[in-house]
């Protein structure tokens, strides 16, 4: 997983992504709130800073730009100062704004947040003031947006629709943009509004509703992963989607495609502000899929990016470097093949999701010799990923006697890690390997031919119960750790005698 996530996030390139929807200006007014007004029981805000950011579909555009993409924007602003400022902000990010039409007698959607600074630094939102119109656009304006969409489709890689129900993505406009996008051969990703009727999104490629939006759209409450799985499948089938991604806040997200149905859990975090998390999820899905990522990899990256964003204040972007740092932090074993069991099982789940075959073997591997090399080479011919269960020092002593192992478990693991035929190693303490086999659930178990037959292999019946198999490897005659150690002892004795 680690390598695939890094490979994808490191090769996003500079895709051109059409983003259509409700563009907004987010205004943050920061001030010290140190006293209560004598006029009313409310805090007095002494303004120290005012900041403007791109909001709504503009927030998605900012997220796309932060990831190296070129946002091609289609939407409307009012004929006012805020509309001009929003277009300036987008242009400064590298976005193309020719598709944003200025509409007279309609305000630029603006959300002004009053932020109190406790002790001059801790941000706390006190109030939000909205200026907006949710009235449907005139037919002439809708046609202008559709024409901008038609002109842009020849030169973009993917299409995103961000619907905040501010009057831009009407049912008619939404359906036509989806039709145009798919007809042009592009994936169309939609972050939907909270509504009981999602029919206007039918035919899109992917939908990203949150838990509450999903509950309303499917008609039952989504509280747990099982309900998210059911809801995602309902959305896929009802709307003819390729994929549904249901975001589940602290629990992560649920991905449902024709071949994948999986909860992708989130890492526990100190959540500061959930504003903008959905925008980041949409943006990362878009750039990942534009880079020919599969849905599962894209969903993992979106889950990571959304997690980073909620630790920030307000709608904030997430950079590639932050993503890389987070991936290294979460899967920080990097190229270290020795994995604790929990990390190994997560890696195996990922490999299985890629259709790879897991081969498992176990042993002491105390003094590595030619027999071990040939044996592990044979293991590698049986599948894609070779996992070695390595007996701990205490379990080796129980099996071989108090003088063994010659090399401690860390040294033995280090030697195995240097072999190309070994992909992962985990150390187990139990006298029997059966418990580990049950957790790993390998597709293939390999043991040496000296076991006689498969019935002598621990866990053979469990592995075969789900379609796995047991394979006995040929042995290199005269090669064993015990024989090697005895020969060394004999040489040492001879040396002392002479």
DSSP string, 144-213: HHHHHHHHHHTT-SEEEEE--SSSSS-HHHHHHHHHHHHHTT--EEEE--S-S--GGGTT-SEE--BHHH
Q: How many angstroms separate the CA atoms of 203 and 180, rounded?
A: 11
Tokens 């693991």 sit on residue: 413
Identify the three-state secondary structure at position 74: strand
Helix (H) / strand (E) containing 244: strand 243-247
- pLDDT tens per residue across span 186-239: 999 999 999 999 999 999 999 999 999 999 999 999 998 899 999 999 999 999
Identify the three-state secondary structure at position 466: coil
The yes-or-no verdict on residue 127 having pLDDT over 70 is: yes
- Let me know the angle formed at the C-alpha of 89 by 88 and 92, rounded to the nearest 5 degrees: 85
Strand ranges across the sheet with 110-118: 43-56, 23-36, 110-118, 122-131
Calculated CA dihedral for residues 20, 178, 10, 323, nearest 10 degrees: 60
Q: CA nearest 257: which of 205, 188, 193?
A: 205
Q: How many angstroms separate the CA atoms of 244 and 234, rounded?
A: 9
pLDDT of residue 116: 86
- Please give the residue that has the higher pLDDT: either 269 or 189: 189
Mean per-residue pLDDT over the chain, rounded: 88
Q: pLDDT band at 315, cuts 50/70/90?
A: low
pLDDT cut 70: percent of the chain above it: 90
Q: How many angstroms separate the CA atoms of 282 and 58, rounded?
A: 12
Between 302-311, 343-352, 488-497, the lowest mean confidence (pLDDT) is in: 488-497
Q: How many angstroms separate the CA atoms of 388 and 477, rounded?
A: 22
Instruction: Answer yes or no: are the C-beta atoms of 326 and 5 closer than 8 Å.
Output: no
Pairing of strands 96-103, 70-78: parallel
pLDDT of residue 483: 60
Say which residues have a Cβ less than 8 Å from residue 414's Cβ, sequence separation at least 6.
338
The yes-or-no verdict on residue 246 having pLDDT over 90 is: yes
Q: How many angstroms separate the CA atoms of 249 and 163, rounded?
A: 19
The yes-or-no verdict on residue 272 having pLDDT over 50 is: no
CA neighbours within 13 Å on the CB side: how many for 217? Answer: 29
Q: How far apart are the first and last CA of the chain?
A: 57
pLDDT of residue 392: 93
CB atoms within 10 A of CB 359: 25
- Please give the residue that has the higher pLDDT: either 474 or 185: 185
What mean pLDDT do residues 147-176 have?
Answer: 96
- Please give the residue that has the higher pLDDT: either 209 or 492: 209
In the chain, ranges of CATH 3.40.1190.20 domains:
2-330
In the chain, ranges of CATH 3.40.50.620 domains:
341-494
pLDDT of residue 384: 93
Tokens 């509950």 sit on residue: 215
Q: Which two three-digit tokens encode residue 176?
A: 């036509």
- pLDDT tens per residue across span 372-395: 999 999 999 999 999 999 999 998
Instruction: State the maximum Cα–Cα separation within the chain, in Å, rounded to a whole number.
Output: 106
pLDDT of residue 107: 96
pLDDT of residue 388: 96
User: What number of residues does the chain have?
Assistant: 498
Catalytic residue among 22, 157, 163, 279: 279
349 is a catalytic site residue: no
CATH code linked to domain 341-494 = 3.40.50.620
The yes-or-no verdict on residue 479 having pLDDT over 80 is: no
What mean pLDDT do residues 424-430 have?
Answer: 93
Identify the three-state secondary structure at position 317: coil
Q: CA nearest 141: which of 176, 103, 107?
A: 103
Query: Cα–chain-centroid distance for residue 67?
Result: 15
pTM: 0.69
- Domain at 2-330, CATH class: alpha beta
Q: pLDDT band at 114, cuts 50/70/90?
A: very high
CB atoms within 10 A of CB 242: 16
pLDDT of residue 273: 46
Helix (H) / strand (E) containing 417: helix 409-417
Measured CA distances, 232 to 258, 282, 307 (Å): 11, 16, 21
Q: How many angstroms separate the CA atoms of 227 and 236, rounded?
A: 14
pLDDT of residue 11: 85
Q: How many angstroms separate the CA atoms of 63 and 208, rounded?
A: 16
Phi-psi region of 7 (alpha: psi -120 to 50; beta: other; left: phi over 0): alpha
């Amino acid at each position: 997983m680690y390598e695939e996530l890094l490979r994808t996030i490191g090769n996003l390139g500079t895709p051109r992504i059409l983003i259509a929807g409700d563009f907004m200006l987010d205004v943050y007014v920061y001030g010290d709130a140190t006293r209560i007004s004598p006029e009313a029981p409310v805090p007095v805000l002494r303004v120290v800073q005012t900041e403007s950011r791109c909001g709504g579909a503009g927030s998605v555009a900012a997220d796309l730009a932060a990831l190296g993409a070129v946002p091609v924007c289609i939407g409307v602003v009012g004929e006012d100062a805020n509309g001009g400022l929003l277009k300036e902000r987008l242009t400064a990010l590298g976005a193309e704004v020719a598709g944003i039409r200025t509409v007279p007698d309609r305000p630029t959607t603006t959300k002004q947040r009053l932020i109190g600074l406790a002790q001059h630094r801790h941000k706390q939102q006190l109030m939000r003031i909205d200026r907006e119109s949710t009235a449907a656009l005139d037919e002439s304006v809708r046609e202008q947006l559709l024409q901008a969409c038609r002109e842009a489709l020849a030169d973009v890689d993917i299409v995103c629709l961000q619907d905040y129900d501010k009057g831009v993505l009407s049912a008619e406009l939404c359906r036509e943009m989806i039709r145009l996008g798919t007809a042009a051969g592009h994936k169309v990703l939609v972050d939907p509004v909270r509504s009981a009727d999602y029919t206007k999104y039918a035919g899109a490629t992917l939908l990203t509703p949150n838990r509450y939006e999903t509950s309303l759209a499917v008609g039952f409450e989504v509280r747990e992963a099982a309900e998210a799985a059911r809801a995602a499948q309902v959305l896929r089938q009802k709307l003819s989607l390729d994929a549904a991604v249901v975001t589940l806040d602290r629990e992560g997200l649920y991905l449902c495609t024709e071949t994948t149905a999986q909860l992708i859990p989130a890492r526990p975090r100190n959540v500061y502000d959930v504003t903008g998390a959905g925008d980041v999820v949409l943006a990362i899905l878009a750039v990942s899929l534009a880079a020919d990522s599969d849905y599962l990899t894209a969903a993992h990256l979106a889950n990571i990016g959304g997690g980073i964003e909620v630790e920030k204040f307000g709608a904030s972007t997430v950079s590639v470097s932050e993503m890389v740092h987070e991936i290294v932090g979460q899967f920080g074993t990097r190229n270290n093949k020795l994995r604790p069991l929990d990390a190994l099982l997560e890696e195996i789940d990922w490999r299985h999701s890629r259709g790879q075959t897991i081969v498992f073997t176990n042993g002491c591997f105390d003094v590595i010799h030619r027999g071990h090399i040939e044996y592990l080479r044979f293991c590698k011919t049986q599948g894609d990923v070779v996992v070695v269960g390595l007996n701990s020092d205490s379990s080796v002593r129980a099996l071989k006697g108090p003088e063994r192992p010659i090399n401690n478990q860390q040294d033995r693991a280090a030697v195995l890690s240097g072999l190309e035929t070994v992909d992962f190693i985990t150390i187990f303490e139990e006298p029997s390997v059966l418990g580990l086999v049950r957790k790993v659930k390998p597709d293939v178990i390999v043991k040496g031919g000296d076991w006689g037959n498969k019935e002598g292999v621990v866990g053979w019946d469990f592995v075969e119960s789900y379609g796995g198999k047991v394979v006995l490897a040929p042995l290199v005659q005269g090669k064993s750790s015990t024989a090697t150690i005895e020969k060394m002892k004999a040489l040492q004795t001879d040396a002392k005698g002479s």
